[in-house]
Structure 1
Amino acid sequence: MYPEKAERRPDPEGCLTAAIRIPVRIVVLIVVVPVRLVWDALALCGGFLGRVLLRPLGRAFGWFHEHVLAPVGRGIARMAEAVATAAWWLCKAVLYWPWLGLWRYVVVPLAVHLIAAPAAWLYRTVLTPLGRGLARGAAWLYSRLLAPLGRGTRLTLWAVLVWPWTALWRYVVVPLASGAYRYVLTPLGHALTWMGRGLAWLGKGLAAGLMWVGKGLVTGLMWLGKVLVVIPAVFLYRWVLAPVGRVLAVIGREIGDALVVAWRVAGYLSLAVGRALKWLAWNLLGRPLRWFYREVCTPVGHVVRDALWRPAKKVAVETGRAVRAALASARETVRRARRDAWHALVGGERQPEPVNAIRGQARNLGGAAPQQTLPGMVAEAEISPHKRG
C-alpha cells in the first residue's frame, strides 16, 4: 500500500574517527573508573549516614521542636502578650486617664468660666461698638480726604512720568526706527542674501568634489581591505579553522561517547566490586559470627538460663514468699499480743475468733495437712499423701 522507505544508514566513519576512538575510550575509562567507584562509595555512605544519623536527628529535632520549642515559644508569646496588656493598662492608668480627667473636669470648666465668658462679654459690650465707630470714622476719612487726594496724585504722576515718555516713543523713536529699517537694513539684507547664495553654490561644488574624492578613497580602501583581510580570513576559515573544528568536533563527540560508555562500564565494575566486598565481608565476618552465635552463644545461653537463671529465679520467688509469710505471721502475732495485753489490762472476757488462712502459708491438701489453730503458728510443709508411710 505504501512504499517502504529505505532506512537511512549512518555515514561511514573515517579512519580518523576509528583512530581516535579506541585511545580516547581507554584513557577515559582509566580516568572514570576511580571516579565512579568513589562516587558509588560516597553515595552508599551518604545513604547510610542519612538512614542512621540524619533521619533520626531530623525526627529528634522535629520532636524537640514540637514538644519543647513550640510550647516554650507559645508560653513566651502568651506571657509577652499578658505583660504588654498589663503595661498598656498601666500606662493608660498612669498617663492617660489622670490627664483626661484633669482636662475634662478641671481645665475645660475653668477655661469656660474664667476666660471664655469674660472674653465674650468684652467682645459683645466693648469691642463691637468700638469697632463700629472706628469703621464709620475710617469710611468718612476715606471718602472726604483720601479719595480726592489719590485722584490728584494720580493725575500729577501721569503728567510728570507717563505722558512725556509716551510722546517721545510715538513721535521720535518710531519714525527713526522705520526709516532706518526701510533705507538701511533692507538693502544690507538683500546684499547679504546674494552673498550667501554665492557662497552656497561654491560650497556645493566643493562638497561634490570632496564626495567624489571620498568615494574613490572608500572604494580603494574597501578593495585593499578585501585583498588584505577578507580573502586571507576566508582562506584561513575554509582551509584551516573548518578542518580543525571538524576534527575537534569528532574528538569531542568521541570523548562524550567514551564518557558515557566508561561511566556505564564503571557502574558495572563498581557493582561487581561491591558484590565481591559483600561476599568477602559475609564469608570473613558474617558467616563466622553466625556460626559463633548459633553454635556457641545459643547453647551457652540455654545452659545459663536452665542451670542458673531459672533456679535463681525460683529460689528468689520462694524466698520472697517465705519472707512475706514470715512478715504476715509477725504482724498477726503482734496484733494478737497487743489485743491480749489490752484485755489483760482492761479486763473482759476474750471472745474466740476464727483464724483465717494467711496468704503465703502451706496449702491444705484435701484435709491431710493440719489446720492452724493458734495465732502466729505456721502450718506444716506440704506432704503428698502418696509419700506418707
Structure 2
Amino acid sequence: MPLRRALMALSAPGGMAALAWWVARSETASPLRHASWAPELPYLVLGLVALVAFCFHRLNLVYVTGVLAGSCAVVEFVLPEAPRLLPLLVTLLPWNLLLFMTDNPPSLRTASGWLRPGLMALQAAVLVGLARPALWIEYSGGFEAPPADLALALGRSCLPAGWPVVSPAHLSWGLAGVVALLRLSARPDPFRAATLVSLLAVTGGFLDRDLPGATSWYFCGAGLALGTALVQHSYNLAYRDELTGLPGRRALTEAMGRLRGRYVLAMLDVDHFKNFNDTYGHDVGDQVLRLVASRVRRASGSGQPFRYGGEEFTLLFPGKNLEDVVETLEEVRLAVEETPMTLRGPDRPRQKLASRGKRSREGRQKVTLTISIGAASPNAAARTPDQVLKNADQALYRAKQQGRNRVCVAD
C-alpha cells in the first residue's frame, strides 16, 4: 500500500517531467526547443507557480521556485563562462530543494521567517563571488572573494586514477536523491513526490546543458511538477479527509449530484465509538477511525467509500440494486469485526470497557471493533440522493436499535 501511494503521488509530477524530457531530447520536438520564446518559458512557469503558492501561503514552494529559477539562470548564462561553478551548484541545489520542501516555513513577519531567504542570498553571493571576483570586491567593501579552490575541490574524483569519476558533488547529489526517495516512501504526498521529480528533471538539465534549448525545458518540467503538486495538494485539502485518507463529505456531495438511475447509498457507523474515546482517549479514537477506513476501503468492492463525519462513513454503489450489495456490505462488516486492534504505547485505558477488550500475552490490550450499516436505494418515496441518504441513515438507526454489528436495508 505505501508503494502504491508513492507511485500514485509520483504519477502526475512524473508525467510533467517526462514531457519535458521528451521535448528536450526528441527530434520531433526540435521546433519547440528552438522556439524564440523557449528560453523565457521556465521563468514564466516558475513565476506562475510561485505566485499561486504565495496566494496559498506555501512559502516553501515560493523559495523552491526561486532556487530553481536562479539555478536555471546560472546554467544558461554563467556556466558557459565559469564552468568551475558546476560542482558547487550540483552540491548545493539538491539540498536546497530538500531543505525548503521539508515543511512550510514561518511567516516573513517573524525574525525566523527570514532565515531561509537569508540562506538563499548567502549562497547566491558565494556563486557571484566565484563567477565574478571583481564584482564581489566592488560591492562587498573590499572583502576577498570566496576561494575558487572550493568549487574545484567538489569536482575532483574521490577514487584513484582509472576508476569512474565520483566527486563529492556526485556523492552529495546521490545522497540527496536517496533522502528524497526515503522521505517519499515514509509519507507519500504530492510535495515530496515533486521534490524527487524536480531533482531528476534538473539532473537532465545539467547533463544536457550543452544541447541547445534543453536546459530550459528540463527546468520547465521541474516547475510543472511543482505546480502539479500544488494542484494535488489543494484538491486533497478540499476533497480528502486528512485523518483517514478517504474522500470527504464535499466529495460525497458532488458524487451524489452526478447520480442517475440505479444506485445504493450505505451509511456505516462505528459501534460504541464514544466509549472508545472516553476510555482510551482521542488518539486511540483516531486509530480506530483509520483502521475502520482501511478495512472499508479494502472490502467495499465496487463501492466508493467516503468519510461522512465523526465516526460515520458512507459507501456509494453506482448502478447497483440493494440485493446486489447486501453481500458486499456483510463482507465489510465482517472485515472490521475480524480485525482486532492492539493498543500499544502509553495509551492505556483509564477504565475498563466492559466485554470489549482482552489482554494479550505481552500485556497489550486488544479490542474488537464492530460497525452497523444501513443501506437504501431510490424508490417512489425517495427519488433524490438526499432522500435516499436519509433512508439509509434511518436503516442505520434500526441496525443500532436491533443490537448493532449488523446490516439493515431500508423498506
State if a TM-score over 0.5 links the two structures: no
| Higher helix residue share | 1
Whose Rg is larger? 1
The structure richer in strand per residue is 2
Q: Give the structure-2-normalised TM-score.
A: 0.13
Instruction: Say which structure, 1 or 2, has more relative contact order (CA 8 Å, 6+ apart).
Output: 1
